[in-house]
C-alpha cells in the first residue's frame, strides 16, 4: 500500500511538473514596481523613451522548476506616455496604436527555456495593434526574497525589439526608426 | 469713421471682421492640411507651430472685437420678419461662441501636458494650472467638430449676407464692406 501511494505521488509529480511548488506572483502595479517602457530612435540621432502607465499581469516562477515559469501581461494601450501630450495623442491615433480599435495589447508566454538559474529565453504570443505574433526574448531574474513588509517578491527584466510594420504600424518614421524596443521591468508579489 | 453707426459698421469693425474671416479660413485649410503631413515633410513641425501661433493671435482679435462691439452701437437690424432678425442675432452669438470654443479647445490640446504655446517663438502663453485626463484626446475631438461646425455656420452666415444684398436689396453685405455716412 505504501509503495502504491508513493508510485501515485511520483507519477502525479511527473504528470504535473509545475504543480508541485510553482509560485504565483501578481505584478506590483499598485505600488508601481513594474514598468513597461519603450524606446525608439528619433531620426537615428537619439533615443526617445516612453512608457505605458496602465497594465496588469501575473507570473509563475519557481527556482526549483524553472521551465514551468510563465507570465501574462495586459497593457492598456491608451496609457502610452512619452511626456508630450501632442505626441501621445498622435501615438494613440490611427497612425500608430489606434487605441480606440485596439485598446489592449497582451502577452502570454507559451514556454520558458532556462539558460541558468537567473536567465533564460521566454517565448510567447504577443498581440499588438490587432496583430498576433509569437516572439522570443531573453529575460533575466534580478532577485527574489522577502520584502520588509511581510511579503515575498521576485523581479525580472526583459527586452525585445519589435518591427513596427510586423504589427501593421506603417507610419514612416525614417530608416533608423523601424523598430521599437520594449522593456519590461517587473516585480511581482507572491500570492 | 472708425465707429459703427446705425446704418453701417465702422472701419475698425469691418477690418476686424475680414481679417478674422481671412485668418479663420486660412486656419481651417491649414488644419486640414497639416494633419495629413507625415514625419518627413519639411513643414511637419512648422505648420503646427504656425497654426498654434495664429490661433493665439485670432484669440486676441476676438477679444478686441468683442470689446469693440460692446462699446459701440450695432447697425440697425435689416428689415425682415421678426424670426429672421432673431435668427441673425442668434447666428452672431453662435459665431462668437463657436470661435471662442474652437480656440479654447485648440489651446487645451497643446497645453495638455503643461507645456506653453510659444506664439511665433516670441510670447509664451502658459498652460492652465489644471487639466483633465486624456485632455489632448478629448480637446482634439472637440476641436475637429467645432472647426467643421464653424465652417457650417460661416456658410449660412455668408448665404444670408448674399441673400440680403441681392434678393432683399437692403445692402446687407455692403455695410460690412464700406463705411456709409449718413446722407
The distance of B95 to chain A (nearest Cα, Å) reads 27
Of B40, B48, B136, the CB nearest to A88: B136
pLDDT at A15 over 90: no
**Chain A hits for B110, Cβ within 8 Å:** 85-86
State phi, psi for B100 to the nearest 5 degrees: -65, -45
Exposure letters B38-55 (e unless 16+ CB within 10 A, then b): eeeeeeeeebbbbbbbbb
Q: How many helices (H) and strands (E) does chain B have?
A: 4, 2
Output the average pLDDT for chain A: 90
**Nearest-Cα residue of chain A relative to residue B135:** A85
CB B13 within 8 A of CB B68: yes
Of B39, B109, B134, the CB nearest to A86: B109
Check B38 against A172: CB less than 8 A apart.
Answer: yes
Cell of A19: 504543480
pLDDT single digits (tens) A28-85 = 999 999 999 999 999 999 999 999 999 999 999 999 999 999 999 999 999 999 999 9
Burial (CB count <10 Å: 0-12, 13-18, 19+), residue B24: buried
Cell of A48: 526617445
pLDDT single digits (tens) A146-186 = 999 999 999 999 999 999 999 999 999 999 999 999 999 99
Low-confidence ranges of chain B (pLDDT < 50): 183
Reported pTM:
0.83
User: Is A30 an interface residue toward B (CB < 8 Å)?
Assistant: no
Residue A19 is predicted with a pLDDT of 46
Query: Which position has the higher pLDDT, B39 or A189?
Result: A189
Reported as a pLDDT band with limits 50, 70 and 90, residue A2 is low
Residue A180 is predicted with a pLDDT of 97
Of B39, B113, B135, the CB nearest to A174: B39
User: Is A169 an interface residue toward B (CB < 8 Å)?
Assistant: no
Residue B152 is predicted with a pLDDT of 98
**Chain A hits for B113, Cβ within 8 Å:** 83-86, 88
**Chain B hits for A171, Cβ within 8 Å:** 38-39
Among A11-15, A131-135, B170-174, the range scoring the smallest mean pLDDT is A11-15
Task: Output the CA–CA distances (angstroms, integers) from residue A81 to A38, A39, A89, A170, in the order listed.
Answer: 10, 11, 9, 20
Q: What is the ipTM score, two decimals?
A: 0.80
Amino acid at each position: 500500500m505504501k509503495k502504491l501511494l508513493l508510485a501515485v505521488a511520483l507519477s502525479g509529480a511527473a504528470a504535473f511538473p509545475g504543480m508541485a511548488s510553482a509560485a504565483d506572483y501578481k505584478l506590483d502595479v499598485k505600488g508601481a514596481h513594474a514598468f513597461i517602457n519603450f524606446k525608439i530612435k528619433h531620426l537615428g540621432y537619439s533615443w526617445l523613451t516612453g512608457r505605458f502607465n496602465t497594465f496588469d499581469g501575473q507570473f509563475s516562477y519557481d527556482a526549483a522548476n524553472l521551465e514551468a515559469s510563465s507570465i501574462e501581461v495586459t497593457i492598456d494601450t491608451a496609457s502610452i506616455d512619452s511626456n508630450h501630450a501632442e505626441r501621445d495623442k498622435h501615438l494613440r491615433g490611427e497612425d500608430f496604436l489606434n487605441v480606440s480599435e485596439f485598446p489592449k495589447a497582451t502577452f502570454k508566454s507559451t514556454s520558458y527555456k532556462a539558460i541558468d538559474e537567473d536567465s533564460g529565453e521566454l517565448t510567447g504570443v504577443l498581440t499588438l495593434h490587432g496583430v498576433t505574433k509569437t516572439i522570443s526574448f531573453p529575460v533575466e531574474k534580478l532577485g527574489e526574497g522577502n520584502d520588509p513588509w511581510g511579503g515575498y517578491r521576485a523581479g525580472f527584466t526583459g527586452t525585445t525589439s519589435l518591427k513596427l510594420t510586423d504589427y501593421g504600424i506603417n507610419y514612416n518614421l525614417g530608416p533608423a526608426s523601424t523598430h521599437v524596443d520594449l522593456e519590461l521591468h517587473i516585480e511581482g508579489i507572491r500570492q | 469713421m472708425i465707429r459703427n453707426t446705425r446704418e453701417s459698421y465702422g472701419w475698425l469693425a469691418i477690418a476686424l471682421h475680414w481679417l478674422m474671416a481671412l485668418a479663420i479660413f486660412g486656419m481651417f485649410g491649414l488644419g486640414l492640411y497639416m494633419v495629413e503631413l507625415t514625419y518627413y515633410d519639411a513643414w511637419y513641425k512648422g505648420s503646427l507651430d504656425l497654426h498654434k501661433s495664429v490661433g493665439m493671435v485670432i484669440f486676441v482679435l476676438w477679444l478686441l472685437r468683442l470689446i469693440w462691439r460692446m462699446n459701440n452701437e450695432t447697425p440697425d437690424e435689416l428689415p425682415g420678419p421678426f424670426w429672421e432678425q432673431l435668427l441673425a442675432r442668434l447666428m452672431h452669438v453662435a459665431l462668437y461662441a463657436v470661435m471662442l470654443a474652437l480656440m479654447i479647445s485648440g489651446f487645451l490640446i497643446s497645453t495638455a501636458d503643461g507645456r506653453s504655446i510659444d506664439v511665433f517663438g516670441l510670447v509664451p502663453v502658459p498652460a492652465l494650472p489644471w487639466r483633465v485626463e486624456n485632455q489632448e484626446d478629448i480637446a482634439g475631438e472637440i476641436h475637429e467638430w467645432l472647426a467643421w461646425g464653424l465652417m457650417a455656420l460661416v456658410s449660412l452666415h455668408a448665404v444670408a449676407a448674399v441673400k440680403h444684398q441681392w434678393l432683399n436689396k437692403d445692402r446687407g453685405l455692403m455695410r460690412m464692406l464700406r463705411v456709409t455716412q449718413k446722407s
